[in-house]
A and B are shown apart, each in its own frame.
Chain A
Amino acid sequence: MTREFWVSVVVLVGLPVAAFIAHITGETYIINLLTRMIVLGLAGIGLNFALGYGGMVSFGHAAFFGLGAYVAGIAAFHAFDDSLIVSMPFELGGTNQMLLIWLIAIFLAAVLAFLIGLISLRTSGVYFIMITLAFAQMLYYFAISWPAYGGEDGLSIYLRNEFPGVQTDKAFSFFLLCFAILLLVLLLCWRFINARFGAALQGARMNALRLSSIGIAPFPVKLTAFVISAMIVALAGALYGELNGFVSPSNLSWHMSGELIIFVILGGVGRLVGPLIGAIVFVLLETYLGGLTDRWQFFLGLILLATVLFANGGIMGLIGGRTRHD
């Protein structure tokens, strides 16, 4: 077992232990903070699938994050006042069932990512960055200018949606639910990366032409990875909406895309658990440094700079040792 593996185990055991301690001491605030780390980490893991393994530096993953959040928000909004989302040509009401919301969020994100990927994956490098950003901004301005769901003010989820057998309004129960999803996604990602698909995806990142010359077309492989990545991020977005009880266009803005990239770079590009570590550090800085000064992002910038300059492979690279990733 590598050092990276043990670092991952420590992080993945540490989070529920910390949450449990906070639970018995009644520190709901801490539990919500830990849940926030997990949900943002989950989004980072999703982005890392495209960025770290597939080499697709997407600056527009907030589109999928916000989409997931809005699915949760809109479904809850209509379930709350018992109105219809669509009345023509068929009747579609809201729902407060998380499972259904997640499925819809993941499905819509897959469709959206397929369309965005179909167009943007024909470019690469800085053009890919700009075109993904452009798509995300389109969604952002759409959300701002659509008054039915709050427009610029966002949309509140007054009652957290329901999951069979779990009291989702209890902080610790919701933490455990998110944590279970995180583990499941990590397991799936790990399987994907170590399967032939993962090898082909990384081959496409290293040299698409070489991959092509031995019989695999890089485009479908990258598109599939892009779609999977978006699905994970959308799931995280839906959970984020539930956690905050609030969704807003800021979930779709380019700041959000930037934060997702920061999680990945800070934690370790192409490291499975890296983005989770990145999100943990980010939330800690935001909470504790943000309590001291409003200019906390100045220090985040310094840390990010130091990470890029001195820690090859992010924080995971620093403590987990160098690995295979370039």
Chain B
Amino acid sequence: MLLDVKNLTSHYGATQVLFGVDLSVEEGQIVALMGRNGMGKSTSIRAICGLNPVSSGQVSFVGTDISDLPSYKSARLGLGLVPEGRRCFANLSVSENLVATARSGPWTLEKIHALFPILKERASQMANTLSGGEQQMLAIGRALMTNPRLLILDEATEGLAPVIRNQIWAALKTLKDQGQAILLVDKSLREVMEIAQRCCILEKGQSVWSGPVSELTPDLQQRFLGV
């Protein structure tokens, strides 16, 4: 088991927002974390990565309990987060963004350039001069450069033009074929069902359903996702 989350709860100040999230990702697997707006998907991911405090429950990653680790330590263990809203380092160049946090492993600058050729063209440009889609590719590339055991994508295709979304989904399929484990939050159900093997649904900060994507019937979709 790569990532194993059991009965995770978390608070923002005095307000409890997660009431027991269960989630697991195996080596080479793609798991989608789904749910309507405000159900705690991003908070779960922030808690896993050490950006939100874990109040109770277990988060274990490659056999280590990471629930109390500062975020840089869990990142070094191999959690590669692509945060919501594309957070690149605005005033660093594209190549600096990629190289700054790189750790050795199969992913190199050349491979990132092969995956997203536009990043090679834009190598010396400042990240804040990129389009939204290019910034998203940069954020993914930056996370891959840390050679993560598990890539975590929070709303990676939100607010992007359909053409760009397709490019990103294509890149994710490439990653899937290479056996990269991915935990993914996304609202575009059709693409998610194409790429993910398992799915975990949150409602009001709690896990309410999890299973293979093939068992996600229209009835369940209607019930939990409102599609």
Contact = CB atoms under 8 A, between A and B. Distances in A.
Interface in A119-169: none
Contact of A214 (B73, B93, B99, B146): B146
Interface string A56-76: 000000000000000000000
A199 interface: yes
Interface stretch (B25-33, B58-66, B83-91, B203-211): B83-91
Interface in B5-62: 49-51
Contacts of A294: none
Q: Categorize the interface residue count of chain B.
A: 20 to 34
B130 interface: no
B103 interface: yes
B146 A213 contact: no
Determine which residue in B71, B76, B90 has the highest number of CB atoms from chain A within 10 A of its CB, and name it.
B71
B80 interface: yes
A304 interface: no
A196 B95 CA distance: 10
B91 A213 contact: no
A202 interface: yes
Given A214-B80, A214-B143, A324-B126, A209 B51 contact: yes
A326 B100 contact: no
B198 interface: no
A326 B91 contact: yes
Contacts of A202: 89, 91-92, 96
B60 to A, nearest CB: 19
A203 interface: yes
Q: Categorize the interface residue count of chain A.
A: 10 to 19
A122 B90 CA distance: 24
B197 interface: no
B90 A212 contact: no
A215 B101 contact: yes
B142 interface: yes
A213 B72 CA distance: 5
A199 B93 CA distance: 9
B70 A217 contact: yes
A213 B103 CA distance: 14
B90 A217 contact: no
Contacts of B143: 214
Given A203-B89, A206-B89, A213 B100 contact: no
Contacts of A215: 72, 75-76, 101, 103, 146
A326 B90 CA distance: 9
A325 interface: yes
A213 B71 contact: yes
Determine which residue in A202, A203, A210, A214 has the highest number of CB atoms from chain B within 10 A of its CB, and name it.
A214
A201 B101 CA distance: 11
B201 interface: no
B177 to A, nearest CB: 24
A324 to B, nearest CB: 5
Given A214-B142, A214-B146, A325-B91, A199 B72 contact: no
A171 interface: no
Contacts of B119: none
A92 B203 CA distance: 73
Given A202-B96, A216-B75, A324-B91, 16 more contacts: A199-B89, A200-B101, A202-B92, A210-B89, A211-B72, A211-B89, A211-B101, A212-B72, A213-B71, A213-B83, A214-B75, A214-B80, A214-B101, A214-B143, A214-B146, A326-B90
Interface of B: 49-51, 70-73, 75-76, 80-81, 83, 87, 89-93, 96-97, 99-103, 126, 142-143, 146
26 contacts: A199-B89, A199-B92, A199-B99, A199-B100, A200-B100, A200-B101, A202-B92, A202-B96, A203-B92, A206-B91, A206-B92, A207-B87, A209-B51, A209-B71, A210-B83, A210-B87, A213-B50, A214-B75, A214-B81, A214-B146, A215-B75, A215-B76, A215-B146, A216-B72, A324-B126, A326-B90
